[in-house]
Structure formats: structure tokens, C-alpha cells
Amino acid sequence: MSETVDNTKIYRVELGVRSYDIHIEPDCLGRLGEAMAKLFAAPTRCMVISNVTIAPLYMDVVRSSLEQAGWQVSECILADGERYKTMESFGLIMDALMQSKLSRNEPVIALGGGVVGDMTGFAASCYRRGIPFIQVPTTVLAQVDSSVGGKTAINHPHGKNMIGAFYQPKLVWIDPKVLNTLELREIRAGIAEAIKYGLIRDAGFFEWMQKSAKAALDLNADVLGQMIHTSCRHKAEVVMADETEQGQRALLNLGHTFGHAIESMTHYSTYLHGEGVAIGTLMAARLSEQLGHAPAGTEDAIRGCYKHVGLPVEVPGFSAEQWLDAMGHDKKNVGSRIRYILLRGIGDAFLAEDVSPDAINQLIDSYRK
């Protein structure tokens, strides 16, 4: 890590030939062109992929920065929302790439949140068997999580992120100032994913988040910069150790087994992803205490932090059977196991594959008392 007095933070993700920098700096959006000119031998053509909400806010700055640095810029503007993270949008990106005749070493730039980033990365991995791509994340979630690590995907009607690839970006260019236009609810949901790193592997960061989350919500530049940097460092460390999720990368899914079930049982219309993860994490913490892995008080400490941020903490009232169904428990397949990420305490997560349906019944019962 290198750090300078002007709030610039750079973290290098070391993955051999796939290594890249994460650059975090307030107001850096207008210097993207310069940074990209350094990455490529000579500026040629590039394409910026964004959506109808983000493009009116930030496309002009990005385009003029690229053009000043000598790039010839084309655009592909998609509809806004998770429901457009589809084969159809993927096809629109391919059409635009074919029309602009981008060659194999000319880059695409994802300007947006996790949805734009995931789709752009996947399209970049496929077009001409792979062209370079740059992440310019514009949501808290994308800045602390999804823009780093190379998981790219689109959804299929039968499942989220079912079609995708591991494909690393060439650069992650983070301007925390763009968060000024983001809705408060989206900021909160992104902060839940930052808190997650503390819970999984850094108790000190969790304590810092307990103190600092309010300032992050108020978009205090120093606090945001620190939160994003520490989150990216944790994400990158995990990815460097386990790029394709053979082992410890799965720990990043703390709260996600229950969280995804919450999202799917409420038809993806009630909770944002980060909100589902927050509630799911509280459930994982209670289960960890119930099974004797984590000390009493673990769940309460996490709940206190979420409440402070204004995240939802109430577990929705579904039956144990509904929960198990939503989590992919197949009653016909006796051998099927649901994988849970549990806690030994704050800052120490582990993968458990031996949690019995009885334990889940008991957990769900505990919310009915």
C-alpha cells in the first residue's frame, strides 16, 4: 500500500499477469483518461458502458477526460436495475461492441454500480475471447466489494449470477465523491458489506466501523476513503489467496445463505441485497451462538452496529420449511448440505457444512418467541 497526504490510496492486487491497481481518490473521475493512457501503449478507441441513471450524472466528465487524453469514445447506455442484468442487455452490449469494431486490445469501461460492473466484465470476457476492462464503480457496494476480484455475471430466469466468468479488470478507479448523488438507502446497504469484512477477518475494523459508520453515512470524505480502502484491501487479500473460490473466498458470503433466502422469499422487491445480508448475518451470528461456536453477545454487538447505521434488523416471519426450501435444501436428497458461514466471534468466520435442519428449526423458532 502506498499513501500520500492528498487522500490518494492505491492498493495493488497481485495476481501475476492479471495484477492491477485499485486507485481511491476524491474527485479522480476527471483524470480517468490520463490513468488509462498510462496503462495502454497508445490511446485508441474505448467504450463506456453505463445506465440511464448514471450516464446523465457522470458520462460528460468521463468522456471529456478520455477525449483529452486522446481516446476515441463510444457509449452503450443500458436500462437501470437488477432486472436488466440479463442475456438481452448482454446482447445489446455485444451489438454496440460489434458496431464500434473495438479490437482485442481496446478497453471497455464500466461506469456504474454492481449491475453495470458485473455485466460489463462478463461482456469484456466474451467479446473477441476477452478484451481489457476498467471498473469505475459508483455505488458504495461496488466501491467496497463488487468492482474488485473479477467475478462477473448476468442472471438467468432460473438463478442469479448463473452465467458468468472469473475475469479481472485492468484497473479499478474509485472516486468516492460520486457517492454524493446516491440514495441514502443504497449507501446504508453498501456499508453493510463493508462491516462484513470486520466480522469475517478484522475485529479492529469492526470496532472502527461501530464508531465511524455514522460519518460514512454522512459521506465524510476521510472516513469514506478509509472505509473503502480497508474494504478493498480485505477483498483483495482474500482474492489473492483464493481467486476462484476454492476455499476462503467463500467466507465473503457471511450472511448470504440466509440473505439470499430473504431476497428470494420476498421476490427481490422488499430488501436491497445489503439489507438482506445484514439480517442474514444476524441470523448466522445467532446460529453461531446457539451451536456454541461464538460467545454470547456476538449477535447483539452486530445488531447494535446495524441499528446505528439504520439497517433493518428484523427477521421476516417465514416458517422453517420455507427457509430451508429457499436455501436450496432438497428434501429428496438426503445427502444435500447447505453451506453456512458461521462466526467463532467477531473477526473470525469459518465454513460449516454440518449444520442440521434441526438447528435451523430451533433458530427459526427463536424468532417466534
Which residue, 115 or 309, has its beta carbon nearer to ligand NAD?
115
Q: Is 116 assigned a ligand-binding role in the annotation?
A: yes
Residue with Cβ nearer ligand NAD (135 or 298): 135
**How many angstroms separate the Cα of 211 from the Cα of each of 20, 76, 208, 217, 223?**
31, 41, 5, 12, 10
The answer on whether 38 is annotated among ligand-binding residues is no
Q: Is 180 in the active site?
A: no
**299 assigned to active site:** no
DSSP string, 44-90: -EEEEEEETTTHHHHHHHHHHHHHHTT-EEEEEEEPPSGGG-SHHHH
Q: Of 7, 51, 155, 253, which one is the catalytic site residue?
A: 253
* Catalytic pick among 170, 188, 229, 235: 235
C-alpha cell at 218: 454522512
How far apart are CB 35 and ligand NAD at their closest, in Å?
19
Q: For this structure, is 170 an active site residue?
A: no
Please indicate whether residue 249 is annotated as part of the active site: yes
User: Is 25 one of the annotated binding-site residues?
Assistant: no
Dihedral, CA of residue 160, residue 162, residue 168 and residue 174, to nearest 10: -10
Task: Report the length, in residues, of the chain.
Answer: 369
Least distance between ligand NAD and beta carbon 178 (Å)? 4
Count of Cβ atoms closer than 10 Å to residue 64 Cβ: 13
Specify whether 293 is catalytic.
no
Give the residues lining the site for ligand NAD (CB under 6 A). Answer: 51, 53-54, 57, 80, 82, 85, 112-116, 118, 138-139, 141-142, 145-146, 149, 151, 161, 178-179, 181-182, 186, 273
- Does residue 106 have an active-site annotation? no
| Closest chain position to ligand NAD (CB) | 114
- 84 marked as binding residue: yes
Active-site residue set:
129, 151, 193, 235, 245, 249, 253, 256, 260, 273
